[in-house]
Amino acid sequence: EAGVVQSPRYKIIEKKQPVAFWCNPISGHNTLYWYRQNLGQGPELLIRYENEEAVDDSQLPKDRFSAERLKGVDSTLKIQPAELGDSAVYLCASSLRGTGGEKLFFGSGTQLSVL
Amino acid sequence: GENVEQHPSTLSVQEGDSAVIKCTYSDSASNYFPWYKQELGKGPQLIIDIRSNVGEKKDQRIAVTLNKTAKHFSLHITETQPEDSAVYFCAASIRNDYKLSFGAGTTVTVRA
Interface A:B, Cβ pairs < 8 A: 59
By three-state DSSP, how is residue B49 classified? strand
The pLDDT tens digits of the residues spanning B33-44 come to 999 999 999 999
Q: Is pLDDT at B19 greater than 80 in this prediction? A: yes
Position A1 scores a pLDDT of: 63
Position A98 scores a pLDDT of: 63
Position A99 scores a pLDDT of: 59
As to burial, measured by CB atoms within 10 angstroms (0-12 exposed, 13-18 middle, 19+ buried), residue B88 is buried
Q: Which residues contact B89 (CB under 8 A, 6 or more apart)?
A: A42, A43, B6, B35, B36, B37, B38, B44, B102, B103, B105, B106
Position B99 scores a pLDDT of: 82
Sign of the alpha-carbon dihedral angle for A58, A105, B85, B93: positive
**For the residues B46-53, what does the mean pLDDT come to?**
90
Asked if B99 lies within 8 A of A56 by C-beta distance, the reply is yes
Beta partners for B11? B108
Position B39 scores a pLDDT of: 95
Asked if B32 lies within 8 A of A4 by C-beta distance, the reply is no
Contacting residues of B for A56, CB less than 8 Å apart: 98-99
CB-nearest to A103 from B46, B89, B103 is B46
The pLDDT tens digits of the residues spanning B74-107 come to 999 999 999 999 999 999 988 667 788 999 999 9
Q: Is pLDDT at B20 greater than 90 in this prediction? A: yes
Residue A4 near chain B (CB below 8 Å)? yes
Asked if B49 lies within 8 A of A41 by C-beta distance, the reply is no
**Vertex A41, ends A39 and A42: CA angle to 5°?**
130
**For the residues A14-40, what does the mean pLDDT come to?**
95
Residue A38 near chain B (CB below 8 Å)? no
